[in-house]
Each structure stands twice: as C-alpha cells, then as structure tokens.
Amino acid sequence: MVAQTIAQGEVQSQSQEQSQEQSQEQGQRLAARSTQTVREAIRDAMAEEMRRDEKVFLMGEEVANYQGAYKVSLGLLEEFGEKRVRDTPISEAGFCGIGVGAALAGLRPIVEFMTFNFAMQAIDHIVNSAAKTHYMSGGALKCPIVFRGPNSVAARVAAQHSQCYASWFAHCPGLKVIAPYSAQDAKALLKAAIRDDNPVVFLEHELLYGQEFSLAENSSEEGDEEGGEGDGELLPIGKAAIAKTGNDATIVAFSRMVGLALQAAEQLEKQGISCEVIDLRTLRPLDSNSLVKSLRKTNRMLVVEEGWGFAAIASEVSAQMNEKAFDWLDAPVMRLSAQDVPLPYAANLEANALPNIEKICSSVKTLCNKK
C-alpha cells in the first residue's frame, strides 16, 4: 500500500487541521472562499448526490473511518452513517462485484478504488459484469454505478502504482469514461455520473486533489454548444471544453495534462504561437465534433497524454481526425505520450518518462515548423 502511505503524508496536515467537527462548517466556509480543491469538489459532489437520493452510497477501502486514503470522503461517514459510507476489506474483485450486484438490483453505488492500479483486480466486474449486462439482457437490466479513484501517476511511487488506465476503459462499449481537470468540472461531472443510469469510470488524479481552482469565473467554455442539458450544477457527459482559445495549433489533453498544456500554451504565446487547448473531460463518448471544429480553425493538432502511447486515447483522437478532418490537416496529428516503459522510481528517470511543459512546447514547435 505504497499509495496509501504517500497519500497519508500528503494530506496529513490538512486532515489534522480539518477535524470532524469542523467539516460540518465546511460548506459555509467554502461559500466564502473563492477557490476549491479538486478533493473538496469530489467530496461535495458525492455529499450532494447522497443527500438528494437515498439509493446513492459510497463503498471502498478506507472510505469511512479513515475518511479516504486521500481524504476525499472527509466527513461523509459522520453525515451519512455506516449504512451509506461502507468500509470494505482489501478485496477489489469482491467489493466491486458486490457494487455491481447492488446496482443491477436498483441501488446507485459509488465504488472507490484507492487507486485505479488496484482496480485491475476487479476489471472483470467493470468490463464483463457492469458494461455488458444492459446489452446482454436486451435492456432488461441497468447498472447505474460509478467507479472512481485516482488514476495515472502520483509522485515517485514507481511502476505498479503509476499507470494511466484511460484507454483500457475507454475501449469498452457500455462504459462511460470521464477524466476531469478542474475542480468545477470534477464536481459537475461526478454529479452527472452518479445520476447516469450507466456504469461510469471516473478517473481522478492524485496530483490534482490538492490543486485549487477558482470558483468565481467559469474557466472554460463549452466546446460544443449543442445538447447542453443538466440543471446548472451538472455538466453533460461527453462534452469537451475549450480551456484556452488560439489559432495556430490545437493541444488536446485530459486530466492533469490540461494544466501542463495551458502552461505550455502561455509560453508559446510569448514566442508567437497561439495555441487552442481542448480539455476532453469525457473520453467515452469522445467529443470529436469539438475536436474537428478546433482543427478546422488551427489545422494542426497535438494530443498530450500521461499514459503510454500505444493504443492510447491519443491514438484514437488521431485516427478520428484522420477520418473526419483530413482535408483540414496541415500536418499529421502529433502525439506526445509517456515513454513506452514501466514508470521508473528514480526522480530524474521518472521526470523524463512523462510529458512536461518543455516537451509540449517543443512538440508544438515541430508541429508548426518553428524552431
């Protein structure tokens, strides 16, 4: 449980200062604050949906007494009790299958994986039991369940605790896959995921949990204006966002890579290259309309992904742009992914294995034929 140890260290100061009594006042304090962390956004999304619907409950390792290995479920046990915030033993296949069974029978479970690396113990239930049963039953059964937890790399936890599973889950019809970047998107999309009648894989990022996002301004505009349903506090699943507008090249990213892409775009702007940054937000269904729209404007596209490049989300984006927007391409769609190696432990090797701002900048320059 390396991740747990790391997580403990990371959030220790915060968890100590936020005692259980204080957590009740948190809503009021937040209202006065102008920013929110992703961790708080996810917690609030769950709490609000649990207040709204008795059938929604949270289960997973350390979600109750411990308040979440990453303190995402802080205060939930106190508010909702043991029936609805359920600690499980370390048995991913078992508790994931139990969650699926409860969903098939009509409840709306949120299954937390301490990290998605451990979800590999349970991937059979996500793919074979959750994703396929609606189809195999000819629509007789629904599986309204959310599988959530941190995905992809953390910091120095090495290969077995540092993998992006986005393309694994996005591969499967029957699943919806969400990987938000900002706190607002995380909250609005998680609420939408909990209300969705389909199994949703909700990929969070450990390195984003503590990141503050502004609550006041809406940092991103909708990529595709059509189909904007929801009641104001929800975001439609399957819609990308334009995180920054630009004209010379489109940088496509999701989750933590959106932040790097935005910083790279800022640097490139100073060098005379105007980048549009698209935050995919949902990976399945993929909002290819928004991608095509951006490509028609910029004619060049770089896809940045924290996971491996082979058979990846970037591969899919590239293939779809090739099929749908070939005539607007001034250069082949370019991919920047993690190096094709298990993630090493040594700090310098780890850094080199992953996309960073410098690599994004240099890729965009190559894409735009600028040195």
Select the residue interacting with other proteins from 4, 14, 128, 267 (CB under 8 A): 128
Q: Which stretch, 26-34, 96-104, 184-192, 331-339, contacts other proteins (CB under 8 A)? A: 96-104
Bond preceding residue 285 cis, omega within 30 of 0? yes
Which member of 49, 61, 62, 92 is catalytic? 92
Size of the site for other proteins (CB under 8 A): 49
Write down the least CB distance from residue 82 to other proteins, Å: 10
Tokens of 356: 């960073």
- Binding to other proteins, residues 141-180 (CB under 8 A): 141-144, 173-174, 176
Q: What span, in angstroms and rounded, lies between the C-alpha atoms of 39 and 73?
A: 9
Q: Which stretch, 120-128, 181-189, 226-234, 269-277, contacts other proteins (CB under 8 A)? A: 120-128
Q: What span, in angstroms and rounded, lies between the C-alpha atoms of 57 and 85?
A: 6
Write down the least CB distance from residue 198 to other proteins, Å: 5
Q: What span, in angstroms and rounded, lies between the C-alpha atoms of 165 and 149?
A: 11
Select the residue interacting with other proteins from 27, 106, 228, 342 (CB under 8 A): 106
What percent of the chain is helix, strand and coil (3-state, nearest 5)? 45, 20, 40
Residue 92 designated active-site: yes
Helix, strand or coil, per DSSP, at residue 22: helix
Select the residue interacting with other proteins from 282, 288, 290, 299 (CB under 8 A): 288
Which member of 161, 204, 205, 276 is catalytic? 161
Write down the least CB distance from residue 142 to other proteins, Å: 5
Q: What is the rounded end-to-end Cα distance, in angstroms, of the chain?
A: 45
Helix, strand or coil, per DSSP, at residue 371: coil
Query: Which residues sit at the interface with other proteins, rule CB under 8 A?
Result: 57, 83, 86, 88-89, 91, 93-107, 124-125, 128-129, 133-144, 173-174, 176, 197-198, 285-286, 288, 319-320, 323-324
